[in-house]
Structure 1
Amino acid sequence: MAEIINLSYPAYLLENVDNLEDWLQKKFPNQHIRPLKVSLDARKKPIKYNIRAEISREPLHPEINCIQAKEVNKDAIRVLIVGFGPAGMFAALKCLELGLKPVIIERGKNVKERRRDLAAITKHHEINPDSNYCFGEGGAGTYSDGKLYTRSGKQKDIHRIFSTLVNYGAPKEIIYQAHPHIGTNKLPGLVEKIREDIINKGGEVHFNTKFLGLELEDNKIVGINTSKGSFKSNTVILATGHSARDIYYHLYEKLIEISPKPFAVGFRIEHPQSFINERQYKGETNIGLPPAAYSLVANKGESGIFSFCMCPGGIIAPCATEPGEIVTNGWSPSKRNNPLANAGIVTQVSIEELEKLGYSGPLAALEFQKSIEKKAGDWANGSQAAPAQMANDFIKGKKSEHLKETSYIPGVYSADFNKLYPKAIAERLKFGLKTFEKKMPGFLRENPMLVGPETRTSAPVRIPRGKDLIHPGVKGLIPCGEGAGYAGGIASAAMDGERCANAAFHYLTENM
């Protein structure tokens, strides 16, 4: 009979271990063992790996807990899925498991063709509104580091998502790592495999096909209109991501209920990765430890200031989706071996604060977001160069005379973030930086550089849905994922995509 055991080993013992299961098996040669969770404990020396494992004298049953996409015929009931990011992708896989035919509508290009548009951003400062770091096969997730960490407590759902990713080529370690990560360099091949399987099983994927509007009869979905004509179905899973502003405008103009959603804004901060390693590992930096990360939080009144999407050994990326705007984000390759670490430092912006700033209505947060990105774009004179400022100069309220080297390839120019953001927001960000120096000594003494703006932390709009996940005003419309306000990252978006496919199945079953 299997039992659960907790193990602890000094980190240096696992320095050159490529296959943890094989290594553990050698430690327990007369039993069968499988790691369930592995976490790094750097609170005191020696730094250790804590391993929770399942062990038995009998062979362990193989873990089969992934979405089983099945082949469907051409006459299967169709479900339209708008957007081919993590939410749309997993909605499609779940539809196939349920015997439904997913028809995916994606405004952007496949991953191979998409690379040319990403290169055009960094080399020529050219933005393709339909193919960029946010739009295209795999969505923003394809080029957003591949972090899979989620605070969701639904362990079985998380395990199923991770097992499905492993089934399509992700490293098996993501199933048991405490902070799983795939890496931007490995994600394109993985999403290609998922797309190929969807098509081979009877689904459809239409790239370079822009959603133009819902087709309704008596407030019921009958199809959608696109740049390549009409697609018919009684159900639409709307999984377009948090940067598809035209979707929000379309719903608003059609008087379909949406609401503003609080979100967070700020900038990215860069430190040498060696400094982060030194601080987090207390000088113990050369014994097989991964590049260190951090998570910092501060509170000023009712508003939080926090680090966001921390990227060890990563780069800052240009993530604008329209010409004339500047947006930054971060990602890391799988080895996280670049010399600089970056993270978003952001503060919450409430609906009440937006109203005080003169923004109201369902699109209040979106319009504020746009105003910040456009101001930065105006300062850049049509380029994708980003505003930058030394952190201590930001606190002092002065423009920096000298800037540091940065991983942001399009380049940076000296600017004052005190003039980019309203005073109250800037003051909270300053408070956060000062607090983080107290929590992580050296955080400011290193005089790191700020690059921004960081404005796409989450959707600025929420598209409502009921307990059945159907929009309350449009039968057959299923708002899904991060763009609808129900997820935050790859894993939670994928889980929501699966839930929405289940909702589509139940809706169609009840209304056929």
Structure 2
Amino acid sequence: MTLQMEAARKSKNIKSRPIIIGFGPAGMFAALELIEYGIKPLIFERGKKIEERSIDVQRFIKQRELNPESNIQFGEGGAGSYSDGKLFSRKRNSEYANKVLDTFIKFGAPEEISYVSKPHLGTDVLCKIVKNMRNYIIERGGGIFYSSKMTDILTLEGKALGVVINGEKEYRSSTIYLALGHSARDTFEMIHRKGIAIEQNSISVGVRIEHPVETINLIRYGTKYKDFSGMGAANYSFTYTNRKMGRGVYTFCMCPGGEVINASSEDGRMVVNGMSYSSRASAFSNSAIVVTCHKNDYKSTDPLAGINFQKNIEEKAFNSAGGRWSVPGQNLVDFLSGRISGDLNKNSYKMGAVSVDMNEILPGFVCEMLLTAFNKWKEDYPLFVSRHAILLGAETRTSSPVIIKRNESYESINTANLYPIGEGSGYAGGIMSSAIDAIKAVGIKKSLSSIKKVILSYFKIA
């Protein structure tokens, strides 16, 4: 145990200090909000500091040695630290969205994110911001503990009383924020075992498509785009809906001038994602192309059935490419023609690609929807659906496969003192919405506490 952890355990005020589980966007913004109110939280992160986490990620890429607790999914900053760092919000100019953007600027983001139409940070900038946020929280009395996984929640008569860390140490609190990521499967399983209300969530699965950046620029800017300087790598966003099948296909987490990365967090299960640096200077652009899945696709009423659905796809992807973290790939034109590719297109994935049939990895309805969508998009964007494109798989972690049920006060519907927030809760997705979710949750809790104090004071006076 570190001296910091020992000091926290011995603190006379430890029971009054809120606990935050997870130090991704939701956990960080919950901590910052509490600090703003003069409250010093205890934060437990199962992964490592961003500096150490980056070393583990590079070791995985070079030596193919996956650390299940320190990877693209787990560690300080959350999964969003290795992404394009998009800061989109449906309510662009809302009070909460502006607060999140202002906070990012305060900790090192460029001011342009407050006025450009589609702000993004990139992995390099995000990592610097994460460090600055960490230092700020610690300087103001917050406690942050790494390699500290919550393995149990202490409950009694419908109330959460504290948590167990790494199967050993107990920490008591009357306020516990569950700021889990969407890949905390073992924690979801524990929550289910404890009888905390949790249910299935609809997800989307599919592939990552990659093109040369020049191809996407031609599609979006036209043939004369080189005559204009400063255009940068182009964005795109496509959707397709098949009402007869009751499903949609859409692009997700598009990374202009980015790279496809291995986002696996479990041995034997292959997952891909996209990432960009702030400059977006890569020779490739990629995006997830995913199909909406319904709960009845899981063929089970088990609250964790969506996790098993994901695992099945990920295991097929891992095994199809030889089981050494090479990525399964198929040129788009070959996928459309129903044949395995001879030579795969050049791509950005650093651990090697193996030619496969995506139909052997993905469920039949997913492949059917992808085929239909690509053929539709080909009518409008022939260069997009062309020999330049490659499909890499599998993309399965677009959102949380569960919903940890909560009420309007953000509190678990059957376990008092427990507040599920952020992407893992099933109520948010992405950096912005997770941060906003955390700010709202802390604000509501603080408001209710203030109201309670006023009421108690009134009765004491009376």
Q: What is the TM-score normalised by the length of structure 2?
A: 0.92
Check whether the contact 2:35–2:41 (CA below 8 A) recurs between aligned residues.
yes
1:188 maps to which residue? 127
Q: Does 1:407 align with 2:348?
A: yes
Give me the whole-angstrom Cα distance separating, in 2, the residues matched to 1:75 and 1:110.
26
Please list, as runs of the form range in 1=range in 2, the aligned pairs for 1:164-313 lying within 5 A after superposition.
164-227=103-166, 229-286=169-226, 287=228, 288-301=230-243, 302-313=246-257
Q: CA offsets, 1:436-486, max 9 Å, x none?
A: 212322111234110010000101111111011101100011010111111
Give me the whole-angstrom Cα distance separating, in 1, the residues matched to 2:58 and 2:388.
31
Q: Does 1:475 align with 2:419?
A: no
**Given the superposition, is the C-alpha separation of residues 152 and 485 from structure 1 closer, same or farther in structure 2, using an over 3 Å criterion?**
farther
Unaligned runs of 5+ in 2: 1-10, 457-462
* CA-CA distance at 1:360 after TM superposition: 3.0
Q: CA offsets, 1:133-185, max 9 Å, x none?
A: 01111011111121111223562211110001100110000011110011111
Give me the whole-angstrom Cα distance separating, in 2, the residues matched to 1:353 and 1:497.
31
Check whether the contact 1:103–1:205 (CA below 8 A) recurs between aligned residues.
yes
2:386 maps to which residue? 445
2:268 maps to which residue? 324
Give me the whole-angstrom Cα distance separating, in 1, the residues matched to 2:194 and 2:380.
48
Say which SS state the counterpart of residue 75 (structure 2) adopts: coil
Say which SS state the counterpart of residue 282 (structure 2) adopts: coil
Give me the whole-angstrom Cα distance separating, in 1, the residues matched to 2:139 and 2:92.
33
Q: CA offsets, 1:328-383, max 9 Å, x none?
A: 0001111101000000010000112322xxx3321111110011111112223431
Give me the whole-angstrom Cα distance separating, in 2, the residues matched to 1:74 and 1:270.
55
Q: Does 1:83 align with 2:22?
A: yes
Give me the whole-angstrom Cα distance separating, in 2, the residues matched to 1:506 and 1:82.
22
* Matching residue within 339, 342, 352 for 2:283: 339
* Matching residue within 386, 393, 399 for 2:334: 393
Q: Does 1:159 align with 2:98?
A: yes
Give me the whole-angstrom Cα distance separating, in 2, the residues matched to 1:445 and 1:93.
47
Give me the whole-angstrom Cα distance separating, in 2, the residues matched to 1:338 and 1:447.
16
Check whether the contact 2:84–2:121 (CA below 8 A) recurs between aligned residues.
yes
Check whether the contact 1:79–1:504 (CA below 8 A) recurs between aligned residues.
no
Q: CA offsets, 1:78-101, max 9 Å, x none?
A: 110000000000000001112222
* CA-CA distance at 1:114 after TM superposition: 0.7
1:115 maps to which residue? 54
**Given the superposition, is the C-alpha separation of residues 483 and 154 from structure 1 closer, same or farther in structure 2, using an over 3 Å criterion?**
farther
Q: Does 1:92 align with 2:34?
A: no
* Matching residue within 114, 125, 130 for 2:64: 125
Say which SS state the counterpart of residue 214 (structure 2) adopts: helix
Give me the whole-angstrom Cα distance separating, in 1, the residues matched to 2:55 and 2:320.
26
2:8 maps to which residue? none
Give me the whole-angstrom Cα distance separating, in 2, the residues matched to 1:178 and 1:418.
37
* CA-CA distance at 1:75 after TM superposition: 4.2
Unaligned runs of 5+ in 1: 1-72
* CA-CA distance at 1:390 after TM superposition: 0.8
* Matching residue within 427, 431, 445 for 2:368: 427
1:499 maps to which residue? 440
2:7 maps to which residue? none
Give every structure 1 segment of 4 or more consecutive aligned residues whose post-TM-superposition deviation is greater than 6 Å: none
* CA-CA distance at 1:508 after TM superposition: 4.8
Say which SS state the counterpart of residue 206 (structure 2) adopts: strand
Check whether the contact 1:91–1:498 (CA below 8 A) recurs between aligned residues.
yes
Give me the whole-angstrom Cα distance separating, in 2, the residues matched to 1:217 and 1:445.
59
Say which SS state the counterpart of residue 116 (structure 1) adopts: helix
- The one-letter code sitting in structure 2 at the alignment partner of 1:241 is G
- The one-letter code sitting in structure 2 at the alignment partner of 1:290 is G
Say which SS state the counterpart of residue 402 (structure 1) adopts: coil
* CA-CA distance at 1:393 after TM superposition: 1.3
Give me the whole-angstrom Cα distance separating, in 2, the residues matched to 1:267 and 1:79.
39
- The one-letter code sitting in structure 2 at the alignment partner of 1:240 is L
Check whether the contact 1:121–1:318 (CA below 8 A) recurs between aligned residues.
no
* CA-CA distance at 1:225 after TM superposition: 0.3
Give me the whole-angstrom Cα distance separating, in 1, the residues matched to 2:364 and 2:337.
13
Check whether the contact 2:219–2:384 (CA below 8 A) recurs between aligned residues.
no
Say which SS state the counterpart of residue 186 (structure 1) adopts: helix
Count of matched residue positions in the alignment of Structure 1 and Structure 2: 437
Say which SS state the counterpart of residue 401 (structure 1) adopts: coil
Say which SS state the counterpart of residue 185 (structure 1) adopts: helix
- The one-letter code sitting in structure 2 at the alignment partner of 1:191 is V
- The one-letter code sitting in structure 2 at the alignment partner of 1:346 is V
* Matching residue within 85, 90, 97 for 1:146: 85
Give me the whole-angstrom Cα distance separating, in 1, the residues matched to 2:71 and 2:338.
34
Please list, as runs of the form range in 1=range in 2, the aligned pairs for 1:16-31 lying within 5 A after superposition.
none
1:106 maps to which residue? 45
Give me the whole-angstrom Cα distance separating, in 2, the residues matched to 1:146 and 1:449.
23
Q: CA offsets, 1:379-399, max 9 Å, x none?
A: 234311111001121122221
Higher helix proportion (structure 1 or 2): 2
Check whether the contact 2:212–2:388 (CA below 8 A) recurs between aligned residues.
no
- The one-letter code sitting in structure 2 at the alignment partner of 1:175 is S
Q: Does 1:458 align with 2:399?
A: yes
Instruction: Give me the CA root mean square deviation.
Output: 1.6
Q: CA offsets, 1:12-65, max 9 Å, x none?
A: xxxxxxxxxxxxxxxxxxxxxxxxxxxxxxxxxxxxxxxxxxxxxxxxxxxxxx
Give me the whole-angstrom Cα distance separating, in 1, the residues matched to 2:436 and 2:22.
15
* CA-CA distance at 1:505 after TM superposition: 2.5
Check whether the contact 1:476–1:507 (CA below 8 A) recurs between aligned residues.
no
